[in-house]
Amino acid sequence: MENDCLCDGYAEGRYVLPLLPYDMTALEPLLDAETVSIHHSKHHAAYVHGANIAAETLRKIAAGEEADKWTTSATQNFAFNLGGHLLHSLYWENICPVSLPLPEGKLAEALRTSFGSPECFLSMFRNVCLGVQGCGWGVLGIEPISRRLVIWGVLRHQDVLVPGFRPLLVCDVWEHAYYLRYRNDRAAYLDAFLRQVNWQVVEERFNHCCMCHE
* Digit-coded pLDDT (tens) for 138-157: 999 999 999 999 999 998 88
pLDDT score of 1: 38
pLDDT higher than 90, residue 54: yes
Whole-number Å distance between alpha carbons of 83 and 47: 8
172, pLDDT greater than 60? yes
Identify how many contiguous H helices and E strands the chain contains and give both numbers. Answer: 9, 5
Give the pLDDT band (50/70/90) at residue 6: confident
Q: What's the rounded mean pLDDT across residues 185-191?
A: 98
pLDDT at res. 87? 95
Residue 83 has phi, psi (to 5 degrees) of -60, -40
Question: What would be the CATH architecture of the domain defined by 4-93?
Answer: Orthogonal Bundle (1.10)
Q: How far is CA 188 from the centre of its chain?
A: 19
- 3-state secondary structure at position 133: coil
Contact between 124 and 151 (Cβ < 8 Å): yes
So what's the pLDDT on residue 2?
Answer: 44
As a whole number, mean pLDDT of residues 89-107 equals: 96
Q: Which residue has the higher pLDDT, 214 or 81?
A: 81
Q: pTM higher than 0.85 for the full model?
A: yes
**Bond preceding residue 29 cis, omega within 30 of 0:** yes
The DSSP code sequence of 5-62 is: HHHTTEETTEE-PPPPSS-TTTTTTTS-HHHHHHIIIIIIHHHHHHHHHHHHHHHHHH
For the beta carbon of residue 8, count every other beta carbon within 10 angstroms: 15
Average pLDDT over residues 4-10: 76
* CATH code of the domain made up of 105-212: 3.55.40.20
> What residues does each domain of the chain span?
4-93, 105-212
Q: What is the DSSP-derived secondary structure letter of residue 68?
A: G
